Structure 1
Amino acid sequence: MGDEEEEARKFLERFAEEFPATLEGDSPLPVSPLSRRVSLEELHGESLEVGLKLLAARGAPAGLSALLSQTALSKLLQSDLSPFHCSQDAEAEDEEQVVLLESVAVQRVFLNELITVALAWHRSFPELPPPPSHFLQCCVHAIKNTRRKMEDKHVTLTEFNQLFGIQDGVRRAYYAVFDGHGGVDAATYASTHLHVALAKQETLQSDVATAFKVAFKHTDDMFKGKAKRERLRSGSTGVVALIQGPQLAVAWLGDSQAVLVRGGQAVTLMDPHKPEREDEKQRIEDLGGCITFMGCWRVNGTYAVSRAIGDFDQKPYVSADADCSVTQLQGDEDLVLLACDGFFDAVKPSEVPRLVLAALRRTAEPEGGGGEDTPSPGPAPSEAVAQQLVAHAKAAGSSDNITVLVVFLRPPELLLARDSPQGSSDSGASEASQQ
């Protein structure tokens, strides 16, 4: 029995002890739905979010969690959902009718499907597909900082294919950081639905840039419906990385950013969307808008970002048209870092290689007996690496929400073993643009 199977069996045993039967009709749900009402299209993302949250809180292996959630969702979508339809609001009679479901009731059905599947697998363990052949180590840390509310969201899905039942033989992993403003609703929505929209794109493998652009626009259109129904006014920038076979695709809206580190040097993957960027300024002015300086450059005197999901009071000036860059991975890449502007307002992209290496050194010291060149190999880098990057940005003056997500494309201990003289990563960093 492999380690993955043994871990999965032990989890199912614990899960069966906690949930020996499906939930009673009037019992509280073990995890709260994201919304009070959900459209049929939103049901996919919200159900997966509920399932993954429930399983993660109980220590489920990521691959098993994805397969359980995907299997339960497939069963839910084959069910008759008409008993859960909400009555339409009278004020919406003259608008396009959208079928809405009562979330608590329909998520109870979903969770019962998940429990039923888990109990069946506990009794008779199925032959599961193998885990990804190349496991990418990842660490993430996020803080509210001095802001009143935390409006960032992040997503890590190393089990992207398992979650969506994709069996085309192409390895995929998905990572995202969303930076909300005017509330967390848009960031929460994007973190729940963008990867679902992306997985449904037929061009995902053949033309990932187009797939990303369509997925971003579709997510924005979906959120527009929710925002209108629930009178929401928030927006969110976002940066997403999809590692697909030998490709790294990065798509973005707004000023959250991604940096690739290759051979100890920073590689520029993108140009963030800011109102003062000359082509963004021209685009907005051509539409009849303007850019004004009010502490920072703002679109029509309001938002400090020129592209985002949401912000419907300033569409089309604040655009939902994402950009995407695709980089062929050559095998000498160290890592890719995703972060919101709370990090990059205080840290230059060229500083990233040096800061990550310094954080790795400090993280390795206790286990390596003080020798920086001989760290003890561990499973995954602790959250301390991301924590130290966040702490650096805060100490450098950032007062905004800060989220930093680091995906190691090679084992961190190899980066330490290859460690060059201190400072060389910083002084020699190049920012070669990748198209």
Structure 2
Amino acid sequence: MIEDTMTLLSLLGRIMRYFLLRPETLFLLCISLALWSYFFHTDEVKTIVKSSRDAVNMVKGKVAEMMQNDRLGGLNVLDAEFSKTWDFKNNNVAVYSIQGRRDHMEDRFEAAADYVKAHLPESLRQQLLSYEREKRESVSSYLSILEQRILAVDRDMVDKLSANHDEAGTTCLVALLSDRELTVANVGDSRGVLCDKDGNAVALSHDHKPYQLKERKRIKRAGGFISFNGSWRVQGILAMSRSLGDYPLKNLNVVIPDPDVLTFDLDKLQPEFMILASDGLWDAFSNEEAVRFVRERLDEPHYGAKSIVLQSFYRGCPDNITVMVVKFKSGPVGSKAEE
């Protein structure tokens, strides 16, 4: 038996030496090493590769841990994870929100989110009313109004929260609907997606993440840095590069409140619905998956919002999850929200 094993090992050794020492094999090996050295010679890329491996291992461990906890805890675990559930439905709009596996509900029950909820809608309403009255003489637009109001709310909030040493921050995603146009402003990593007349997913916003080249360069110019700790974070702290609030990072100018504002032609898109959601949903769904999933469930009481939130949770999302679905109806001049 031992002799047979030794013979087999010897044979394998000869085969490996034969292939490894062949000129074409050595040539391919040298080319591979040269390409690897060329593409991955910088410390930054080496760090990204290593951190990505660490991230994969960490996610695997977290998912396994959550699945084990769900099995062991049964209904008690689910009760705790759904302890802060919030929902809303009115005509063509439905919202569903859960705390999920987070220790706290930050999507809604948090100082920065509460401040923006209390001040931004009313501020926008007043400015829009003034704009509509003076439209002919005004040089403003929906785009500039959204940008001005968001920046103003951030300034006021930073002043107030920093006085109380409250470091809270929040994302901001606003969709403004007129007869023929949809204007969307975004700060942070909440995201909007629209389903057009053909069922295609149309991105309404783009996440502000620290690893994006534009954001990374801006942070570096401001004297900041990003590092990996479960996700890429500004100064090793914040997992998004723009936000409202977060005054310590705002004072360093490494995190900014500047919104991206995009406009969309409703006559051209003739949308069926749009999804506005916190990053918890997008940890579990791509834009296309989310549109397909909700489109099949528009007849449900929450227009699919509740179903996709729960599905995100069951897929292992570790974050708070909040989803708003807005249904549209087609008209002779395009699409508008149902009255």
- CA gap 1:143/1:307 in 2 versus in 1, 3 angstroms: same
Structure 2: distance between partners of 1:357 and 1:329 = 18
Is the contact made by 1:140 and 1:404 (CA closer than 8 Å) also made in structure 2?
Answer: yes
Is the contact made by 2:298 and 2:304 (CA closer than 8 Å) also made in structure 1?
Answer: yes
By percentage of residues, which structure has more helix? 2
TM superposition score normalised by structure 1: 0.50
Name stretches of at least 5 consecutive residues in structure 1 with no aligned partner.
Answer: 1-61, 63-135, 154-182, 364-381, 412-435
Q: Deviations over 1:158-188 (max 9, x none)?
A: xxxxxxxxxxxxxxxxxxxxxxxxx710011
Aligned partner of residue 355 in structure 1, secondary structure: helix
Identify the residue that residue 102 of structure 2 maps to in structure 1: 147
Identify the residue that residue 114 of structure 2 maps to in structure 1: 188
Is the contact made by 1:203 and 1:210 (CA closer than 8 Å) also made in structure 2?
Answer: no
Q: Does 1:405 align with 2:324?
A: yes
Is the contact made by 2:100 and 2:313 (CA closer than 8 Å) also made in structure 1?
Answer: yes
Q: Does 1:293 align with 2:293?
A: no
Structure 2: distance between partners of 1:148 and 1:185 = 16
Structure 1: distance between partners of 2:243 and 2:105 = 18
Q: Does 1:353 align with 2:288?
A: no
Identify the residue that residue 265 of structure 1 maps to in structure 2: 200
Identify the residue that residue 199 of structure 1 maps to in structure 2: 125
Identify the residue that residue 185 of structure 2 maps to in structure 1: 251
1:252 partner letter: N
Shift of 1:352: 2.1
Is the contact made by 2:210 and 2:241 (CA closer than 8 Å) also made in structure 1?
Answer: yes
TM superposition score normalised by structure 2: 0.64
Shift of 1:346: 0.7
Identify the residue that residue 235 of structure 1 maps to in structure 2: 169
Structure 1 vs Structure 2 CA RMSD: 1.9
Aligned residue pairs: how many?
229
Which residue, out of 232, 237, 250, partners 1:302?
A: 237
Shift of 1:392: 1.4
Q: Does 1:138 align with 2:93?
A: yes
Q: Does 1:209 align with 2:143?
A: yes
Structure 1: distance between partners of 2:233 and 2:162 = 24
Q: Of the two structures, which has the highest relative contact order with CA contacts closer than 8 Å and spacing of 6 or more?
A: 2
Structure 1: distance between partners of 2:165 and 2:116 = 17
**Larger Rg belongs to:** 2
Structure 2: distance between partners of 1:260 and 1:358 = 14
1:388 partner letter: S
Aligned partner of residue 333 in structure 1, secondary structure: coil
Shift of 1:391: 1.0
Name stretches of at least 5 consecutive residues in structure 2 with no aligned partner.
Answer: 1-89, 331-339
Is the contact made by 1:338 and 1:406 (CA closer than 8 Å) also made in structure 2?
Answer: yes
Is the contact made by 1:236 and 1:310 (CA closer than 8 Å) also made in structure 2?
Answer: yes
Q: Deviations over 1:131-159 (max 9, x none)?
A: xxxxx611110000111111113xxxxxx
Give every structure 1 segment of 4 or more consecutive aligned residues whose post-TM-superposition deviation is greater than 6 Å: none
Structure 2: distance between partners of 1:139 and 1:250 = 18
Percent of pairs with identical residues: 34
Aligned partner of residue 309 in structure 2, secondary structure: helix
> How do residues 414-433 of structure 1 correspond to structure 2 at under 5 angstroms?
none
Structure 1: distance between partners of 2:298 and 2:125 = 33
Is the contact made by 1:258 and 1:336 (CA closer than 8 Å) also made in structure 2?
Answer: yes
